Amino acid sequence: MALRTRLTDILGIDYPIIQGGMAWTATAELVAAVGNGGGAGVIGAGHMPTDILREEIRKAKSLTEKPFGVNLMMLTPHIDDLAQLVLDERVPFVTTGAGNPAKYMPALREAGIKVLCVVPSVALAKRMESIGADAVIGEGMEAGGHIGELTTMVLTPQLVDAVEVPVVAAGGIADGRQVAAAFALGAEGVQMGTRFMCAAECTIHDNVKERVLKAKDRDTIVTGYSTGHPVRVLKNKLSRQLEELDRANKPEELEKLGTGKLALCMRQGDVEMGSVMAGQCAAMVEDIRPAAEIIAQVMTEAEETFAELGGRVS
């Protein structure tokens, strides 16, 4: 059964589930599978060269008739070119992350592209709403990759109180009980990244999927506080070296050591010297299955959780 919220109406999807736009991870195959399963697939542009992103967008268009999005990562130096490309290709929607997308809002809105901004704070959410964001995605620090300071549990209800546009909860969500919890907090959708790393259609190296499947509750760590861009990863040889540089307060060396390591992990499968970006909920991911099944299972679990709640409280 489809579940309708303002988010599903805005994006034209069946289920209020957005797939996180993970760089080097969320490629056309995964994005199309999520779309065909009734969710919102999002290509992770990250630092992708413009030509490659164009190919990914065209491939996604060839694999699905459903709407899909592109995540624009504000820290990339050629962000102007990537933003122009999504305008030229008339991508249905964009998610933005790792910075303030204000500069691109007028052109995106003018082109009729929906914009959903990832925000780590109430202040940024209000600002994004004031410049025309269609929804905000509040991402808690349980998430993988670049993170803010607040947890999903604390950020979500504050966003719901602060803005009129729909709030999507993100960070640490991998199953239907958590989706139900997000809805209880007032969210109208969720974004899941780590869970979709173990979708059958996700093209990352099998070594990474194995690492995620093996992860336990305390297996992630946040490195890079000294650079101002903290990043959550699964612990490995690289994270221990980055931790040392953080402790020694050597942000330049840390940046240098971290460069190129996400691709090394996701594409080449080096899970010791690569950056295994994943959220705390990696511990909850227990199988590899098609994206459509992940979506169906999570939605069924969420509905069961709602039904059960009545019986557990009196």
List contacts with ligand TUI (CB under 6 A).
23, 46, 73, 75, 97-100, 118-120, 124, 139, 145-148, 229, 231, 277
- Could you give the CA distance from residue 122 to residue 234 in angstroms, rounded to a whole number? 28
- Nearest-approach distance from CB 1 to ligand TUI, in angstroms: 30
Comparing CB distances to ligand TUI, the nearer of 83 and 302 is 83
Comparing CB distances to ligand TUI, the nearer of 96 and 178 is 96
Residue closest to ligand TUI, measured at CB: 145
The DSSP-derived string for 85-104 is HHHHTT-SEEEEESS--GGG
Amino acid in position 133: A
- Nearest-approach distance from CB 288 to ligand TUI, in angstroms: 22
Comparing CB distances to ligand TUI, the nearer of 262 and 299 is 262
Longest distance between any two alpha carbons in the chain, whole Å: 58
In a 10 Å sphere around its CB, with 0-12 CB exposed, 13-18 middle and 19+ buried, how is residue 54 labelled?
Answer: middle
Comparing CB distances to ligand TUI, the nearer of 14 and 270 is 270
Q: Are 291 and 199 in contact (CB under 8 A)?
A: yes
- Nearest-approach distance from CB 24 to ligand TUI, in angstroms: 9
| Torsions phi, psi for 68 (to 5 deg) | -145, 170
- Could you give the CA distance from residue 167 to residue 150 in angstroms, rounded to a whole number? 15
- Nearest-approach distance from CB 180 to ligand TUI, in angstroms: 23
- Nearest-approach distance from CB 118 to ligand TUI, in angstroms: 4
In a 10 Å sphere around its CB, with 0-12 CB exposed, 13-18 middle and 19+ buried, how is residue 97 labelled?
Answer: buried
Comparing CB distances to ligand TUI, the nearer of 30 and 302 is 30
